Chains A and B, each alone.
Chain A
């Protein structure tokens, strides 16, 4: 079978390059040289699992389709002595390859949808609450204080001593504890549900804690709640994931996860609105 086929170089090269791409992709992915950041939240285990399932499905399809493409191209390369086949339809085949992806997608839709609603069910009563404010290019914080209530705020009340525009006339404000942007750390209890109320003074920001698998935009004019359960003690990074201006890449914050008693103790040592705003 020593036939001179035109274009063998290109067919061969395409096969070779495809095999190399597929091999590299499989080895690097399976070897987890780069992988999801170490996990530190409860729902993260579920989203990571769905990620891996999706990775397996798409990975198999990727390998099969790319190799098939390259092999078909190689096998049917130009041959002056042969004529191309003439066919252009095959009902059973077409129905099969419509239904199979449809079934796989349906499974993904169902599992994705269930997980999504589980993540977004309302938080348990009495969950630990904290407010995080984005502003160019730092994070500000507010804790509700002993009464567990956040006081009213108004952008128009913002001034140097009152950076969040807290309405001091609102009784719920009095015991609030706040940290101007860039000061203070976010203290969260380990193993407890945590509700983060996201707000912004200026532009869009996004509250992204890679270790928690939490990402939620902060939108001016809105209070957006997101909740999760931190599962590991330690220090974690908070990143802004929505373009917010020229310092976007520097908008870093620190999250400290520790036992509830320590959080409470730390909170009890902080000054409240009453102490700070005259």
Chain B
């Protein structure tokens, strides 16, 4: 387990190019991932503004939009196909290119080596390759905005035949091809990352750092990597098969069709096959996004409450249980797809069971807070906010996981509310908590706390105003992926008022993210210099310089003597004991059998 304990000498000369651009240093790669992901996140956010403009004020002319998007907006009115393209690109960007990239690529790269006392990832070159392939996937996706027909418009789930036949919707031309290529690249990059994280966590832990002493962030990222490694390849295969169907005349997913006045498709293809393959990744994917955010929340809560995380073992076991179950619940997206109803029963069982480990985690966070002495850093606020939105979103999953109830709620705004809380907002809160917490370590400077707290309050209140009312729309039966609701009598007239309300809230919350952007950029250059351990935390990264040098540690790797959560030990004078402090009277590298 311990590979090397002495200095690693760096022979190669570092130029600007190898240091910041083609770097193999996990910290630089982490920052590259994080900043690229944030940039993508802002694009996704911008798209949500446009969607909200359409949903709030359908039919109203906004001439400035015509100037911005001559192809998608006619006389100031967003076209339906452009609306659907935005829904698709918003969802795709937010899920893969923002939250997954930031949490797994960004925090995974930054935290794993530092928190396990390694000098770098096991395969630094593969790591660099992972980032560059990811960047290529971002570029391909962004380029698809500018091709004829516009970007993909079949939803982030890309169900064929809509995504399989060019005539089905304008976005299913070149746009959809680029979408599939981009996703294939993204998956390749993510696989490189997963291999690295798993190997690194298993092999490069420093002396004394047994698996049972790992911080929960590392546990979460490690399990996430396993999830990614096992589920992403399935989507890669599906994406390639769909490309074949589109361009080489196969028919994996396309039966005989009659679209736009002529015959299409082939013999024997089955559209439902895609749904199985897609959700075999798609469901684990939401856990790929949420597990690291859970890890970050656990870490930040313990630090800011000055208390050990409650139920460490249960936290690890519940992560494992969630990860395992997440592989066998994908069918809950398909209760009304035409899949055999018997399968529905099986998927209902596994899905509702996931509520148990999720509840355990929530109770453990509550118990961590109980008896604490909470330092209200911005990171702490976002971690507490995470527990709030995760609870709200998790509970609505109990409706959707129960097929008789799901019949009515499926593909309505209830689902939009559900996943924006449990996955969207929760993951984003994890990202913000992580950035506010580790920014000093990443860049050696502090962020502005008052500004960060203002950002929290606007965002926290805002997301409830945006997404909570969507539950009521869904209960009233309002379908999702709808460009306009005017045609229907069953939709109560009050819905248009609700939509205006949501849109105003969304515009404000979107604008509030500028506070974060300004704070981030300003602090990079002007923030006060950070000490080694500004939050008085116990984990290893806080024993390194801020920011840590290439190779992370001085001549000697750190040795670990205790678990990651020795906060407020009654027998210690300070209210935290770093993992590197030996336990009095116990042999080196052990804690005498106790935490």
Contact A78–B373 (Cβ < 8 Å): yes
Q: Does B202 contact A (CB under 8 A)?
A: no
Contact A217–B338 (Cβ < 8 Å): yes
A: interface residue count bin: 35 or more
9 closest A-B pairs by CB: A221-B255, A85-B371, A7-B376, A34-B472, A210-B477, A88-B308, A120-B341, A84-B306, A84-B373
| Closest-CB distance, A217 to chain B (whole angstroms) | 5
**Which residues of chain A from 198 to 216 have a CB within 8 Å of any chain B CB?**
198, 201-204, 206, 208, 210-211, 213-216
Since A35-B475, A155-B263, A202-B168 are in contact, a sample of 10 more A-B pairs with Cβ atoms closer than 8 Å, ordered by chain A residue number, is: A37-B476, A69-B384, A73-B384, A94-B364, A156-B263, A216-B338, A243-B154, A243-B481, A248-B84, A249-B485
Contact B384–A155 (Cβ < 8 Å): no
Q: Does A28 contact B (CB under 8 A)?
A: yes
Contact A155–B258 (Cβ < 8 Å): yes
Residue in A54, A72, A83, A116 whose beta carbon sits within 8 Å of that of B366 in the complex: A72
Contact B488–A51 (Cβ < 8 Å): no
B378 to chain A: closest residue by CB: A10
Q: Does A147 contact B (CB under 8 A)?
A: no
CA of A237 to CA of B402 in the docked complex: distance in angstroms?
25
Interface 9-residue window, one of B31-39, B224-232, B265-273, B508-516: B265-273
B377 to chain A: closest residue by CB: A7
Q: Does A146 contact B (CB under 8 A)?
A: no
| Closest-CB distance, A16 to chain B (whole angstroms) | 10
Contact A65–B391 (Cβ < 8 Å): yes
Q: Contact string, B458-483, partner A, CB cutoff 8 A, digits 1/0? A: 00110010001000110111010111
- Listed in ascending order, the chain B residues whose CB lies under 8 Å from chain A are 79-81, 84, 153-155, 159-162, 165, 168-170, 255-260, 263, 265, 269-272, 305-314, 336-338, 341, 344-345, 348-349, 352-353, 355-356, 359-360, 362-364, 366-367, 369-376, 381, 384, 387-388, 391-392, 395-396, 398-399, 402-405, 407-408, 410-412, 453, 457, 460-461, 464, 468, 472-473, 475-477, 479, 481-485, 487-490, 492, 494, 498, 565, 567-570, 575, 595
| Closest-CB distance, B479 to chain A (whole angstroms) | 5
B384 to chain A: closest residue by CB: A73
Contact B488–A246 (Cβ < 8 Å): no
B409 to chain A: closest residue by CB: A51
Contact B481–A116 (Cβ < 8 Å): no
Q: When A84-B373, A246-B84 are in contact, do A115 and B404 touch as well, CB less than 8 Å?
A: yes
Residues in chain B near residue A90, CB distance under 8 A: 310-311, 367
Contact A119–B569 (Cβ < 8 Å): no
Q: Does A105 contact B (CB under 8 A)?
A: yes
Residue in A25, A36, A72 whose beta carbon sits within 8 Å of that of B475 in the complex: A36
Residues in chain B near residue A13, CB distance under 8 A: 457
Q: When A7-B376, A246-B80 are in contact, do A116 and B395 touch as well, CB less than 8 Å?
A: no
Q: When A86-B568, A101-B356, A204-B161 are in contact, do A18 and B370 touch as well, CB less than 8 Å?
A: no
Residues in chain A near residue B457, CB distance under 8 A: 13
Contact A252–B488 (Cβ < 8 Å): yes
Contact A86–B388 (Cβ < 8 Å): no
Contact B490–A210 (Cβ < 8 Å): yes
- Listed in ascending order, the chain A residues whose CB lies under 8 Å from chain B are 6-7, 10-11, 13-14, 17-18, 21, 24-25, 28, 33-37, 46-47, 50-51, 54-55, 57-58, 61-62, 65-66, 68-69, 72-73, 76-79, 82-90, 93-94, 97-98, 101-102, 105, 108-109, 112-113, 115-117, 119-120, 135-136, 155-156, 158, 165, 198, 201-204, 206, 208, 210-211, 213-217, 219-222, 224, 236-237, 239-250, 252
Residues in chain B near residue A83, CB distance under 8 A: 306, 373, 568, 575
Q: When A243-B155, A249-B487 are in contact, do A202 and B567 touch as well, CB less than 8 Å?
A: no
Contact B369–A69 (Cβ < 8 Å): yes
Contact A36–B369 (Cβ < 8 Å): no
Jot down 8 A-B pairs with beta carbons below 8 A, ordered by A.
Answer: A24-B468, A47-B404, A76-B373, A90-B367, A102-B353, A108-B402, A156-B256, A221-B271
Contact A76–B305 (Cβ < 8 Å): yes
CA of A138 to CA of B453 in the docked complex: distance in angstroms?
50
Residues in chain B near residue A73, CB distance under 8 A: 369, 374, 384
Contact B355–A204 (Cβ < 8 Å): no
Residue in A11, A65, A120, A217 whose beta carbon sits within 8 Å of that of B374 in the complex: A11
Residue in B258, B355, B481 whose beta carbon sits within 8 Å of that of A201 in the complex: B258
Contact B170–A246 (Cβ < 8 Å): yes
CA of A61 to CA of B390 in the docked complex: distance in angstroms?
13
Residues in chain A near residue B360, CB distance under 8 A: 94, 97-98, 101
Residue in A54, A116, A210, A239 whose beta carbon sits within 8 Å of that of B345 in the complex: A116
Residues in chain B near residue A17, CB distance under 8 A: 460-461
Residues in chain B near residue A156, CB distance under 8 A: 256, 263
Query: Which of B311, B314, B402 is packed against the most chain A CB atoms within 10 Å?
Result: B402
Contact B359–A97 (Cβ < 8 Å): yes
Residue in B161, B345, B411, B490 whose beta carbon sits within 8 Å of that of A220 in the complex: B161
Residues in chain A near residue B468, CB distance under 8 A: 21, 24-25
Contact A136–B312 (Cβ < 8 Å): no
